[in-house]
Chains A and B, each alone.
Chain A
Amino acid sequence: MIRQLKQDFREKARNANIPLEVTFELTYRCNLSCVHCYLKGETCEEMTTGEIFAVIDQLAECGTLHLIFTGGECLLREDFFDIAGYARSKNLALSLITNATLIDGPTAKKFKDLNFLEVSVSIYGLNCHDRITSTKGSFIKSHEAIKHLIRENVSVQVKTPVMNLNFNEIEQLSVFCEQLGLDFAPNPFITMCSDGTRKTLALRMDDGQLSRYTCERIESGERASGFNSFCNTGRSVAAISPSGDVFPCIAFKKSIGSLKKQSFSDIWNNSPYLSFLRSLELAHMKECSVCTVRNVCRLCPAEALEEDGDILSPHKEACRIAYMRHKLINERKCKC
Chain B
Amino acid sequence: MLMEKLNINNYVKRKKEIAFQNMDQELVLLNLESGVYYSTNKVGQRIWQLCDGSMNIREIILKLSDDFDKSSDDIKNDVLEYINDLINEDLLSLYS
Binding site for B on A (CB under 8 A): 1-6, 9, 12-13, 16, 18, 20, 60, 63-66, 91-93, 115-117, 155
Contact = CB atoms under 8 A, between A and B. Distances in A.
Given A63-B21, A64-B21, A66-B19, A1 B43 contact: yes
Interface in B75-96: 78, 81-82, 85-86, 89
B6 to A, nearest CB: 15
A4 B38 contact: yes
Contact of B85 (A2, A115, A117): A2
A91 B35 contact: no
Contact of B39 (A5, A63, A93): A5
B32 A115 contact: yes
B20 A3 contact: no
B22 interface: yes
Interface string B9-40: 00000001111111110001010110111111
B23 A13 contact: yes
Interface residues of B, number: 28
Nearest to B35: A117
A2 B89 contact: yes
B24 A1 contact: no
A1 B38 contact: no
A18 B16 contact: no
Nearest to A115: B32
Nearest to A8: B39
Given A93-B30, A115-B33, A1 B19 contact: no
Contacts of B33: 115
Given A1-B85, A2-B86, A9 B19 contact: no
A9 B28 contact: yes
26 contacts: A1-B43, A1-B44, A1-B82, A1-B85, A2-B38, A2-B85, A3-B40, A5-B28, A6-B37, A9-B28, A9-B39, A13-B23, A63-B21, A63-B22, A63-B23, A65-B23, A65-B28, A91-B18, A91-B19, A91-B20, A92-B19, A115-B16, A115-B19, A115-B32, A117-B32, A117-B35
Nearest to A64: B21
A102 B46 CA distance: 41
A135 to B, nearest CB: 32
A117 to B, nearest CB: 5
B28 A2 contact: no
- Of the listed residues A9, A60, A155, the one surrounded by the most CB atoms of chain B closer than 10 A to its CB is A9
Contacts of B30: 65-66, 93, 117
B24 A16 contact: yes
B82 A9 contact: no
- Of the listed residues B21, B43, B86, B89, the one surrounded by the most CB atoms of chain A closer than 10 A to its CB is B21
A9 B78 CA distance: 24
A18 B78 contact: no
A103 B22 CA distance: 33
Contacts of B85: 1-2
B71 interface: no
A66 B37 CA distance: 12
Contact of B44 (A2, A9, A64): A2
B7 interface: no
Nearest to B81: A1
Contacts of A66: 19, 30
Interface string B37-67: 1111101100000000000000000000000
Given A12-B24, A65-B28, A91-B20, A4 B78 contact: no
Given A9-B28, A65-B28, A93 B38 contact: no
A117 B22 CA distance: 19
A6 to B, nearest CB: 8
Contacts of A63: 21-23
Contacts of A117: 19, 30, 32, 35
